[in-house]
Amino acid sequence: MSRLPPAPTDQYVSLPDTRLVTTRALLTARENLTNTLNARAMMCLYGGAGFGKTVAATSCLRALEADEDIRRITFHARATTRAVRHELFATLELPGQPPRYATEFDHLLKTTLATHPRTLVLDEAQWLQSDQLEYVRYLWDDPHTQPAVIFVGGEGCYHALRKEPMLSSRIFIWQHFTRLTPDEVLDVIPLCHPFWADADPDDITFADSRAAHGNFRNWARLTAHTQTALHRTGRTRIDQEVLRWAFSRLSST
C-alpha cells in the first residue's frame, strides 16, 4: 500500500507531455533509496528548491511501491513533537482517536511500526527542529520497529540533521541534489518536453543562462510561458525573440 501522490501532481506547473528524464542524480537516488529500504535505514536527500529532489524521491519510490508500505508526510511549517505524533497517526491510518498522553501515543506508534516494514518519507524536513528529529530517531532506534526513513528537504535539512549527532551518525546515505550543469541541460531539456526537442542548442543554452539556471522548476515555468508565446505568435519553433518574451514573465531575470 502506498500513500504517495499521483504522478500528475509531481510538477508544480501543469504541462501536458512533460516527461520524467533519467538524469544521473535520479539514477543515483534510485540506487540510494533501494539500498536504504533494503537496509531498513535512514537517508537524507537534500538540495536547493527546484533541483528535482522531491520528484526524484517520489518517482523512485513509486516504482518500488508494490513491495513497500510507503507513507509520506510533508511539513509546511515548524512542527511540534505533538504535531509529528498526530501526523504519523493520520498517515498510518490508525483507527479511533489519537491517545491523549505522550507515553500511550509513543507505545501505539512503536507497536504499529513493529507490525511490518514501512517506509516513512518526511518531505520538507528542514521544518523539523531538534526535538522532532530526536523523536524520529527514537522511533527508528526501537529494536522492534522496522521503518526506513527518508528525509527530503532543502539545504537547511542537511544542516538541521548534521546538528543532531545521534541522528546524523545513523544516516545511512546523504545525497546532495545540485543544479544541472550546462552539458546536462543540453542532454536533459530536449527530452523533457516536445517544445525543446528540435530547439537550437544555442537557444537552450541562452534560455538556461538567462532564466532557468539549471533549475527544473525554472525550466517548467519557462516552458509554460514559451508555450503561451508560441500560441500567441503562431510560431512552431522556439527562437530568441520568443524566449525574450517568456523571460519578461519571469521575475528572476
Angstrom distances, CA of residue 83 to CA of 90, 98, 151: 11, 11, 17
Instruction: Centre a 10 Å sphere on the Cβ of residue 67 and count the other Cβ atoms it contains.
Output: 8
Angstrom distances, CA of residue 91 to CA of 123, 184, 200, 245: 13, 37, 47, 44
| Residue 99 identity (one-letter amino acid) | P
| Portion of the chain with pLDDT greater than 70, in percent | 93
63: cell is 516504482
Nearest to 151 by CA among 179, 180, 172: 172
**Residue 15 scores a pLDDT above 60:** yes
pLDDT value at residue 222: 92
175 - beta bridge partners? 45
- DSSP 8-state assignment for residue 77: S
Mean pLDDT of the 124-142 span: 96
Nearest to 124 by CA among 97, 90, 87: 87
- Burial 91-104, CB ≥16 within 10 A → b, else e: ebeeeeeebeeeee
Q: Tens digits of per-residue pLDDT, 166-191?
A: 999 999 999 999 999 999 999 999 99
Work out whether the CA dihedral 207, 210, 214, 215 comes out positive or negative.
Answer: negative
pLDDT value at residue 189: 94
Write the CATH number of the domain with boundaries 19-177: 3.40.50.300
Q: Tens digits of per-residue pLDDT, 190-242?
A: 999 888 998 999 999 999 999 999 999 999 999 999 988 888 888 878 889 88
Q: Tens digits of per-residue pLDDT, 87-122?
A: 999 999 999 999 999 999 999 999 999 999 999 999
pLDDT value at residue 1: 41
**Residue 13 scores a pLDDT above 70:** no
Angstrom distances, CA of residue 20 to CA of 13, 23, 161, 175: 14, 9, 29, 19
- Give residues with Cβ within 8 angstroms of 126, minimum separation 6: 153, 154, 155, 156, 157, 160
CA gap 116, 138 in Å, rounded: 18
Cα distance between the two ends of the chain: 43
pLDDT value at residue 2: 44
Give the pairing type, strands 171-177 and 147-153: unpaired
Mean pLDDT (the chain) is: 90
pLDDT value at residue 249: 83
Instruction: Give residue 164's pLDDT band: very low, low, confident or very high (50, 70, 90).
Output: very high
Instruction: Give residue 20's pLDDT band: very low, low, confident or very high (50, 70, 90).
Output: confident
**Residue 3 scores a pLDDT above 80:** no
| Portion of the chain with pLDDT greater than 90, in percent | 68
- Give residues with Cβ within 8 angstroms of 208, minimum separation 6: 180, 182, 185, 189, 214, 219
